[in-house]
Structure 1
Amino acid sequence: MRDLGVGFGYLLAGQRWVARHGRAYGFGLLPGLITLLLYAAALTALALWGEDAVGWATPFADGWPSPWLGLFRGFLTAVLFALGLLLAVVTFTAVTLLIGQPFYEALSEQVDRDVSPDGTAPESGLPLWRELWISARDSLRVVVRAALWGVLLFALGFLPVVGQTVIPVIGFFVTGFFLTEELAAVALQRRDVDLRARLALLRSRKTLVWGFGTPLGLAFLVPFVAVFLMPGAVAGATLLARDLLGEDTEEPDPHDPQHQQHQQHQQDRQGAADPAAPVSGTGTPRPPR
């Protein structure tokens, strides 16, 4: 059970990290905002035209007497919207990570450099298009797995008593597992850990994964919260990935002079490698590297 607390600790540590790095946090918000607008539009369309879609899909019920026709199609409309909402929750992280791949990749690398004893971060060495392709392919596989679990749990939800008590709890743990996989994939893909190996790694420390992903999944149910927690969730998942792989991690103290010197060195190196980056707080900001 200790791992549950450790996993939750990584979630909090990730939020603390982005709180100390406002520029990285600001850029990390953009993909979540874009995804939120897309999903809000899709769910609004489903709410407005879901009844019409159900009517089109059930022409055999056109001659049913009242009130059975209204009850039948009303139930199907509610189920359709519930499934759409479930799919939105399950896929939000995957879509956000895909849209924000360059931002979250840079953020994760920065976390690695910040907590690594030697100040280095693993790099995949792959071109961006290849990373996007791998991320999209693996995310689709994970979403299919999560959707199968969702359908199974939805069906089990009709069982008396158990369906209204035990099944929702199991559902939150399943959501937390797949949510953690999507977030940790940002750091693990840079280390050339493929999907099958990632899933095996996460299953070997399920309580650690649940401690990180389950409370995050619960928080994601609150509107807009997912957008603001995503950057910190990526940072925390990077710390969790280092733990899973047994890598040394030193969580920095922002008041430590040695840490401040290391941060200044990183900024100087970034400025030397990227002369277009602003140095005085003016000009167009660039994503963190």
Structure 2
Amino acid sequence: MVNNSQTVKKSGVNYFLQGFQLIKKPGLRSFVFIPLMINLVLFAGAMYLALGQLTELFDWMNGQLPNYLSWLHFLLWPLAVLTMLVVMSFIFSSVMNWLAAPFNGLLAEKVEQYLTGKNLNTGTSMDMVKDLPRVLGREWTKLKYYLPRALIFLVLFWVPVIGQTAAPILWFLFTAWMMAIQYCDYPFDNHKVSFDDMKFALKNTKGSSYSFGAAVTLFSMIPIVNFIVMPVAICGATSMWVDKYREAYKNPMIAPD
């Protein structure tokens, strides 16, 4: 499929939703499958171990409770499992960004080829292996950008008044911004665009960046569904790169939304 050369005016949410269609395309499914299976296998193994520990905890708790409170087991067990699913889903989303980074870049490359009909000529499989330190270094750059800012926002939750009002909103906006950075970075990085230049481009198209990141954030909060958020977001972000940045980035400045 060759993308129309005329830029289509779409919101970031539209690009994210387009990712659901792209992951089903025959030429792209195999590149979605590998990181998805890595995610599922690791998550299943961790869940098996965690459920074993949770079972032991509830067995011990049942031994401590009097008979008239035994009904608490049926109330707390599903709550505990649901909480564990949500927490582990968030943890695995972060871990998988590191483990699947080379595959994510490859998926972004194939999506761009599908949308433009042009080969990126990024090299052989051996070249991808040699490029691994640089790819992981890019993930480390994103993490260094994220951590100090995340700590500042988390501190706001403990500030009286602000912690109960502005902090949750600011945290959601910050998370949306980071999701845009995380997934839009793959097509930018495929073209060796620096991290700072990539941030500059996203800041100059804030409407698309934040709406895309907000959609990723909201879908990442849904257990099970968030398993496929990563490839969907990569596909959507690459589509946004093709429409908004691929040609325009050859110019010194990127026009804002």
Q: Could you state the TM-score of these two structures normalised by the residue count of structure 1?
A: 0.60
Q: What's the offset of the Cα at 1:34?
A: 4.6
**Contact 1:98–1:135, Cα closer than 8 Å, also in 2:** no
Alignment of 1:126-137 (within 5 A): 127-137=127-137
Alignment root-mean-square deviation, CA? 3.4
Residue of 19, 30, 40 corresponding to 1:33: 40
**CA distance in structure 1 between the aligned counterparts of 2:197 and 2:181, rounded to whole angstroms:** 11
**CA distance in structure 2 between the aligned counterparts of 1:175 and 1:40, rounded to whole angstroms:** 26
**CA distance in structure 1 between the aligned counterparts of 2:32 and 2:226, rounded to whole angstroms:** 13
Report the equivalent of 1:191: 191
Structure 1 residue identity aligned to 2:193: V
Alignment of 1:64-103 (within 5 A): 89=90, 92-93=92-93, 95-103=95-103
Report the equivalent of 1:17: 22
- Consecutive unaligned residues in structure 1, runs of 5 or more: 48-84, 249-289
**Contact 2:104–2:231, Cα closer than 8 Å, also in 1:** yes
Structure 2 residue identity aligned to 1:156: L
Q: What's the offset of the Cα at 1:23?
A: 3.8
Report the equivalent of 2:169: 169
Report the equivalent of 2:247: 247
User: What do residues 46-88 of structure 1 show as CA deviations (whole Å, max 9, x unaligned)?
Assistant: 99xxxxxxxxxxxxxxxxxxxxxxxxxxxxxxxxxxxxx69x8
Structure 2 residue identity aligned to 1:96: M
Larger displacement relative to structure 2 (106-115 or 126-135) = 126-135
Percent identity (aligned):
20
Structure 1 counterpart SS, 2:222: coil
User: What do residues 119-168 of structure 1 show as CA deviations (whole Å, max 9, x unaligned)?
Assistant: 11324448223432122112122112212122111111123333123211
Change (3 A) 1:241 1:208: same
**Contact 1:93–1:179, Cα closer than 8 Å, also in 2:** no
- Consecutive unaligned residues in structure 2, runs of 5 or more: 1-7, 55-86, 249-257
Structure 2 counterpart SS, 1:129: helix
Residue of 118, 121, 126 corresponding to 2:119: 121
**CA distance in structure 2 between the aligned counterparts of 1:121 and 1:102, rounded to whole angstroms:** 18
Structure 2 residue identity aligned to 1:175: T
**CA distance in structure 2 between the aligned counterparts of 1:234 and 1:104, rounded to whole angstroms:** 7
Between the two proteins, the alignment pairs up a number of residues equal to 207
Structure 2 counterpart SS, 1:12: helix
Larger displacement relative to structure 2 (224-233 or 124-133) = 124-133
**CA distance in structure 1 between the aligned counterparts of 2:9 and 2:174, rounded to whole angstroms:** 15
Report the equivalent of 1:204: 204
**CA distance in structure 2 between the aligned counterparts of 1:200 and 1:184, rounded to whole angstroms:** 12
Q: What's the offset of the Cα at 1:37?
A: 5.1
Change (3 A) 1:46 1:133: farther
Change (3 A) 1:173 1:14: same
**CA distance in structure 2 between the aligned counterparts of 1:241 and 1:189, rounded to whole angstroms:** 11
Change (3 A) 1:4 1:244: closer
Structure 2 counterpart SS, 1:133: helix
**CA distance in structure 2 between the aligned counterparts of 1:204 and 1:39, rounded to whole angstroms:** 40
Larger displacement relative to structure 2 (168-177 or 98-107) = 98-107
1:6 is the counterpart of 2:18: no
Q: Could you state the TM-score of these two structures normalised by the residue count of structure 2?
A: 0.67
Change (3 A) 1:168 1:235: same
**CA distance in structure 2 between the aligned counterparts of 1:235 and 1:29, rounded to whole angstroms:** 14
Q: What's the offset of the Cα at 1:6?
A: 1.0
Change (3 A) 1:95 1:131: farther
